Amino acid sequence: MQVLVTGGGGYIGSILVPRLLKEGYKVKVLDRFFFGKDTLASVSKNTNLTLIQDDTRWFDKKILKNVDVVMDLAALSNDPSGDLDPQKTLDINYKGRARVAKLSKEAGVKRYILASSCSIYGFRDGLLDEKSPINPLTTYAKANRLAEIAAKKLASDKFTVTLLRFATVFGYSPRMRFDLAVNGMVLGFFKNKQIPIMRDGTQWRPFIHVKDVAEAYIKVIQSPKDKINGELFNVGSDDQNYQILPLAKEVAASIHIPFKKNWYGDPDTRSYKISFKKIKDTIGYTTKYTVSDGAKEIYSNLQKGVLTDSLKTKTVEWYKHLLESKKLSDSIVIQNKVL
């Protein structure tokens, strides 16, 4: 079976792609590689891996030939990044992914899986499931919702579409991100012996380890299509719904650092608690890794020098750099080529 992973060089992709290869799948990665190609260095010599440097908005549909499954991850990631250039975010995160889904169906791809986000829920009280009203507050969240709608319309007996709304991701990745809550907290302790927390710490957020994200994809493509076709799943675990302040205290305890906080920013307008019962009951998916596991591995890698705090680890700052250097401009078209 051949899998195409768009955005496969990113934070999640650089964990997911090696996992797919380990399972014996042939993998094509379609990515602009804004963060470099070394994120997949560990599997670069694998003969079942093909790297394609291109853009979801204009890649040649021939790339989809003989592809059985498309995992569509390519996007400008997170809420702050999405607001840097709202129109570009809509072009990439919505129109680009709608195009990938449409071309996939036309090419005879059997399964299409969209990476969406629980940020779509915005601000809601109570425990939310897939039938709960949504409240997308940011361009990133709105683009995710539009992509969900476009993809789901294409579902048919011959084209299985699955929508995955992921909790906030954490944990070590070769394409490291310190702009994610847990990861940023660990870095704050490592550098300054205190944790940066967005005011006022009472907001709720669900969390999931990046390795558990990869396992969700594996579980979905190995599930019978009648269980997943046209379905939307929240992906995470009920016991990893946290308020931010208690989360910070757990991170501190995990790495044995006295808890000290540093408030930053305005009060967060996003707060949501999520139920992950549907994916567990439908396909038997459960998570394996905890916040403590993620905090420990990141802290250890910082101590060893495996991880460093560079411009590339802060997504918004790196995108700003690319915009200023015009490397994120639509006027620069990277021609399709196999690297």
Is the confidence at residue 266, as pLDDT, over 90? no
- pLDDT for 219 equals 98
- pLDDT for 338 equals 33
Instruction: Between 265 and 220, name the one with better pLDDT.
Output: 220
Q: What is the mean pLDDT of residues 328-337?
A: 40
Query: What does CATH list as the number for 2-338?
Result: 3.40.50.720
User: Whole-model pTM?
Assistant: 0.93
What band does 307 get if pLDDT is binned at 50, 70 and 90? very high
- Which pair of structure tokens corresponds to residue 6? 């768009």
Q: How wide is the angle at C-alpha 120 spanned by C-alphas 313 and 79, nearest 5°?
A: 30
Q: Which of 23-37, 151-165, 199-213, 314-328 has the lowest mean pLDDT?
A: 314-328
Is the confidence at residue 66, as pLDDT, over 60? yes
- pLDDT for 261 equals 86
What band does 47 get if pLDDT is binned at 50, 70 and 90? very high
Is the confidence at residue 122, as pLDDT, over 60? yes
Is the confidence at residue 267, as pLDDT, over 60? yes
Amino acid code (one letter) for 47: T
Question: Which helix or strand (DSSP H or E) is residue 162 part of?
Answer: strand 160-166
What band does 332 get if pLDDT is binned at 50, 70 and 90? very low
Q: Where are the domains of the chain?
A: 2-338
- pLDDT for 334 equals 33
157-182 tens-digit pLDDT: 999 999 999 999 999 999 999 999 99
Let me know: does 55 contact 117? Beta carbons within 8 Å. Answer: no
Of the candidates 144, 100, 138, 104, the one whose C-alpha atom is nearest the C-alpha of residue 122 is: 138
| Residue indicated by tokens 């995710």 | 144
Give the percent of the chain with pLDDT over 70: 95
Q: What is the mean pLDDT of residues 188-206?
A: 88
- pLDDT for 339 equals 29
Is the confidence at residue 131, as pLDDT, over 70? yes
- pLDDT for 81 equals 67
What is the distance between the alpha carbons of residues 236 and 238, in angstroms, rounded to a whole number?
7
